[in-house]
Amino acid sequence: MTEYSSNQTVSYDVVDGIAWVNFNRPDKRNCMSPTLNRDMMEVLHLLEFRDDVGVLVLSGEGTAWSAGMDLKEYFRETESKGLGATRQAQRESYGWWRRLRWYQKPTIAMVNGWCFGGGYGPLFGCDLAFAAEEAQFGLSEINWGILPGGGATKVAVELLPFRKAMYHAMMGENVDGRTAAEWGLVNEALPLAQLKDRVTAVAKVLQAKNPVALKATKDAVRRVSVMSYDDAEDYLIRAQEAANSYDNHGRKEGIRQFIDEKSYKPGLGAYDKDKASG
């Protein structure tokens, strides 16, 4: 059954371990107003530690994933209330994108349509991203006279080679889902009609993995990107040892099922995390 955030700007539905969360302002192409930003934080908070949620998928109602920040409500109306209001609106939007970057559960962006500007924040916030070939991605900020802020320039530089990032930011031209996949903005692009099935299949694979190891892995990939090799080596030792304090059994069971029981091969798939040790 579909549920809604306090102000109806976010919808969500938990089905078979997958939380399907949608931007829900289709008439406004799901652009992000301060209200939507508050609602999204509310929904992320509600879902993060629910036992029946294994994976969170972020998508959009209607033809858009998100047309970026709401130029009227997020910029014009907020600015008219002064600097304090501007800073609060920034905290609220950046806040939920950060929450997403370090979310407890694996996250997937399912980009069904338009994805502009500020939308790159949650796009990067999600661990994986799958797009419709029909989707359109753009850093359109330059087209209305600002730089790609709110992290968008950082996302472009993180995900794209220098020349592509520079062209993308300076030209204000859109790329479709297929090009976004070739460039590395998303993992894959496929026809819109196949998008949900593919995302469901990926979510099912993630759900079968050890959840403590998944959280440690996704954090490690983000953390080590800004570390020296030696720092990363040390961090990864500490991170695994910290993960052991939450689950000191899983990896031993993984070894047991392979070496003793011979019931699976780690090179070919995951151990059965639900099987009690013999």
Name the residues that contact ligand ACO, by CB under 6 A. Answer: 28-29, 31, 67-72, 114, 116-118, 140-141, 150
Do β-strands 128-132 and 107-111 pair in parallel, antiparallel, or remain unpaired? parallel
Residues, the chain, total? Answer: 278
CB of 106 to ligand ACO, least distance (A): 26
Q: Is 67 or 129 the residue whose CB approaches ligand ACO more closely? A: 67
Give the chain as a 3 state SS string: CCEECCCCCEEEEEECCEEEEEECCHHHCCCECHHHHHHHHHHHHHHCCCCCCCEEEEEECCCEEECCECHHHHHHHHHCCCHHHHHHHHHHHHHHHHHHHCCCCCEEEEECCEEEHHHHHHHHHCCEEEEECCCEEECCHHHHCCCCCCCHHHHHHHHCCHHHHHHHHHHCCCEEHHHHHHHCCCCEEECHHHHHHHHHHHHHHHHCCCHHHHHHHHHHHHHHCCCCHHHHHHHHHHHHHHHHHHCCCHHHHHHHHHHCCCCCCCCCCCCCCCCCCC
Q: Is 12 or 114 the residue whose CB approaches ligand ACO more closely? A: 114
The answer to whether residues 45 and 96 touch, using CB atoms and an 8 Å cutoff, is no
Q: Is 125 or 254 the residue whose CB approaches ligand ACO more closely? A: 125
CB of 70 to ligand ACO, least distance (A): 4
CB of 77 to ligand ACO, least distance (A): 11
Q: Is 82 or 145 the residue whose CB approaches ligand ACO more closely? A: 145
Q: Is 28 or 273 the residue whose CB approaches ligand ACO more closely? A: 28
Q: Is 17 or 172 the residue whose CB approaches ligand ACO more closely? A: 172
CB of 23 to ligand ACO, least distance (A): 12
For residue 257, give Cα distances in angstroms to 101, 208, 242, 244, 247.
Answer: 33, 15, 23, 18, 17
CB of 61 to ligand ACO, least distance (A): 13
CB of 83 to ligand ACO, least distance (A): 18
CB of 44 to ligand ACO, least distance (A): 20
CB of 169 to ligand ACO, least distance (A): 11
Q: Is 59 or 140 the residue whose CB approaches ligand ACO more closely? A: 140
Q: Is 141 or 253 the residue whose CB approaches ligand ACO more closely? A: 141
